[in-house]
Amino acid sequence: MNNQPLHIIKVGGNIIDDEQKLQSFLNSFASFPGKKILVHGGGKLATKLAADLNIPQQMVDGRRITDTDTLRIVTMVYAGYINKNIVTILQSKGCSAIGLCGADANIIQAHKRVHPTLDYGFVGDVDNIDADRLSSLLESGLTVVMAPITHDGKGQLLNTNADTIAQEIAKAMSVHYKTTLIYCFEKAGVLMDAEDENTVIPMIDPAAFNKLKTEQKIFAGMIPKLENAFKALESGVNKVVIGNAEAWDTLISGKSGTTITLEL
């Protein structure tokens, strides 16, 4: 393991859908030194385009059922519009970004999801990340901007959850770097009371997590996110941080948000 730090940052719809917030976030992101990978989600643009084109959308547990028309839409919106806009904004701020999807350079190979009762369509679950290829792009001075589209190696593009992509990249890259995985979302961190932004839990280790679960002091929707964070840590990721991208400086320095670690 290399001890050079690498930050993998995931941003979602709350930033992407708001032009001002996006500009402000990319300002902070561009000026943040060191090796970094940005994984972006899709936001409302794909839903809006589907509505404009009269293509009905079906969501199950927050996942988009992806038929052929919907795959075309998310490929256009995620890997085209959002990805290239982020890249050109970063370039204008002096950050040499390269925008990719998982098919590019075969960086993320996935398979079409198999589910006993539900056909998710062209939704992909990640099989492999080419960490060597990603490293060589980073080492050549580039910042990678990753769209949540993967492929199966047989010519099929697949729609893949951006949180999962960020996590899989962080795990794979831990072979080469001291990896921090940062999930930017709309809340200030993991909250004791989902309605109160002042109840951020600054640090959670497995013991604290179990206590919070047992005492039901944690918002149910956060439990899978935290379980995934612990899995990432067990796979070699150094630190997982969950917090608000608008508080970037304090988030990145660990003064805001929730830090998830194996040992306090």
Which residues of this protein are in contact with its own copies, per CB under 8 A? 52-53, 72, 75-81, 83-85, 87-89, 91-93, 96-101, 103-106, 136, 140, 142, 149, 151, 153-157
Shortest reach from residue 133's CB to its own copies, in Å: 8
Q: How far is the CB of 130 from its own copies (least distance, A)?
A: 10
Smallest gap from Cβ 120 to its own copies, in A, equals: 18
- How many of the other CB atoms lie within 10 Å of CB of 187? 17
Reported for 249-252, long-range contacts at CB under 8 A and 24+ positions apart, including other chains, are 249/28, 251/182, 251/184, 252/7, 252/32, 252/182
CB 10 → its own copies: shortest distance, Å? 20
**For residues 26 and 182, which CB has a smaller minimum distance to its own copies in the complex?**
26
Nearer to its own copies, 66 or 258 (CB): 66
Between residues 86 and 260, which has the closer beta carbon with respect to its own copies? Answer: 86
216 CB contacts (<8 Å, ≥6 apart)? none
CB nearer its own copies, residue 37 or residue 201? 37
Identify which of residues 54 and 198 has a Cβ nearer to its own copies in the complex.
54
Angle at 150 between CA 21 and CA 164, to 5 degrees: 60
- Residues 148-157, buried b or exposed e (16+ Cβ, 10 A)? bbbbbeeeeb
CB of 179 vs its own copies, minimal distance in Å: 22
**Phi and psi for 257 in degrees, rounded to 5?**
75, -175
Q: Which residues pair with 128 in a beta bridge?
A: 109
